[in-house]
Structure 1
């Protein structure tokens, strides 16, 4: 190997060694940065744990005071329960902080082993009782944290869905003489409702309230359709044979019902709930709101072509909607009826009021 060749080889080896050394230093620096970041996060978590446990203790003491005010426990029993809660929370703080301190020491001693996985995370669980719920984010992942339930929850909420038959009661006519088909006319309702227990020590009387979207559809018979003549709405015969003539209104309403019926009290000691599962419920009330849309849909053939005509608005529908409603329920399923006290149209020779009958489902 001549002198020039040796120099080239030595240069390559030196450059490779320098590059590798620099890369190793960079990796070590990144590891140190990752470890320092995790240690800082753990130190911050220690303060959060103390604050969290104090907040949980505050909630537990409030629940004990509620039981004392309701005369379910004596003052002496309340003090003993508060003492036990304080001791438990103090022990929780001590144990959880010890876990954090051990994790910090583990990272300091074994940074080359435990800092290589940036996705590493761990979960702190205290108690394991299903009556606790909440979560926090640590190292980018969600973990369960236990939070005591509220002792008495007087208000609950659920999704409301109803579907069934729809028609109109017309002044001077029986329902049998209605110009709308019984089978083809229907309604649907979708909304959200809250239910609040009215009295402290009984769940027999409840107030149910919320908001709903109602879709009321009329299937028009005898080849007729709605016509607006100088703001007066009348049914007239269509010039050609209709395959379909339907009229639909869409309302946003705010129902309120007084609900009553038996329920079962479930007492868990540190909290209680009332259950109406498989119980008879009756709700009586009404609703008020606004009409937010109307549409007439016509289907027919003209010169061999199929025509679909959707006419939106212009039917002088009453903008303010209000009525009476009620339901008879067993569990979450109810027989449901509603009746609009307002006439469907502002100006018509004979007033007609929408009426609906169907099934209602209150889904928790």
Structure 2
């Protein structure tokens, strides 16, 4: 009886040992476990910059008023950064488009005008006779921004504090007036494409401050919106833009 019990215990121990040794073998046969790794962000050179801002029209004629909230800017720029030596300063040239909107506070729109000696200019046409919901001037530019930027931590630009100053030049690509009005209960949109004696080339100074991909930016146009002596009421109107920008890549 005792011999049978001892034999049973020995056989059980041997069986457990064989089973234990077989487990790693089974795992090996299945192959190594696959570990999912998070895909790293693509390391694309340069920066995609998107800017949202409000346009404030500066002019010498109180009759020309725009609504700040309705006068907006949307810019799309690609900037490439060149580090200046081993310093924390970078030079960033770029290219992109600047899309500006100016919403008139009064029910007016821009029209062509010719004086008694044939000089062309732009004047305001009153829209009091129609139910106007919105009247604005739309300008679209091809821009070349240039910026000198400081990074607090150049090795980790996506989280670093930064401040920049720069210069921007642009060429007018297209412009039009846009009117939304109500006619016999129906909403009607009217667009008139024209240069409206707008200054073809613009330039101005820029500023930026922020952390990582989030920034506050400023732009001041150093050229008049209209060609000298050809704007509404001979205005020398110009603009500044203040807003937020976001950096991709």
| TM exceeding 0.5 | yes
Over 3 Å counting, the alpha-carbon distance change for 1:337 and 1:178 in structure 2 is farther
In structure 1, what is the Cα distance between the partners aligned to 2:179 and 2:245? 30
C-alpha distance in 2 between matches for 1:158 and 1:193: 5
Greater strand content:
2
What is the match of residue 260 of structure 1? 150
How far apart in 1 are the matches of 2:197 and 2:61?
22
| Normalised TM-score (structure 1) | 0.51
Counterpart of 2:32?
A: none
- Which structure: greater helix fraction? 1
| Cα distance between partner residues in 2 of 1:214 and 1:328 | 20
Q: 1:256 Cα shift?
A: 0.3
Q: 1:215-269: CA deviations, max 9, x gaps?
A: 01011112111122123223332132311101110000100011113215xxxxx
**1:217 and 2:107 correspond:** no
CA change 1:172–1:220 in 2 (3 A) is closer
1:250 aligned onto 2:135: no
Shift in Å, 1:162: 0.6
Match of 1:354 among 236, 239, 243: 239
Q: 2:148 & 2:174 partners in 1: Cα distance?
A: 29
TM-score, normalised on structure 2? 0.73
Match of 1:108 in 2: none
Whole-angstrom distance in 2 between the partners of 1:307 and 1:330: 44
Provide the C-alpha distance between the structure 2 equivalents of 1:263 and 1:178, rounded to a whole number of angstroms. 46
* Aligned equivalents of 1:178, 1:333: Cα separation in 2: 34
Structure number with greater Rg is 1
Partner of 1:363: 248
RMSD over equivalenced CA pairs, Å: 2.4
Q: Secondary structure at the match of 2:148?
A: strand
4+ aligned runs moved over 6 Å, structure 1: none
Q: Is the 8 A contact 2:99 2:140 kept in 1?
A: yes
SS at match of 1:171: coil
Aligned match of 1:270: none
State whether residues 156 and 196 of structure 1, in contact with CA within 8 Å, keep that contact through their aligned partners in structure 2: no
Unaligned runs of 5+ in 2: 1-38, 115-119
Instruction: Give the match's secondary structure for 1:351.
Output: coil
Q: 1:298 Cα deviation (Å)? A: 0.8
Give yes or no for the alignment of 1:163 onto 2:52.
yes
**In 2, distance between residues paired with 1:172 and 1:302?**
31
- Please say if 1:301 is aligned against 2:169: no
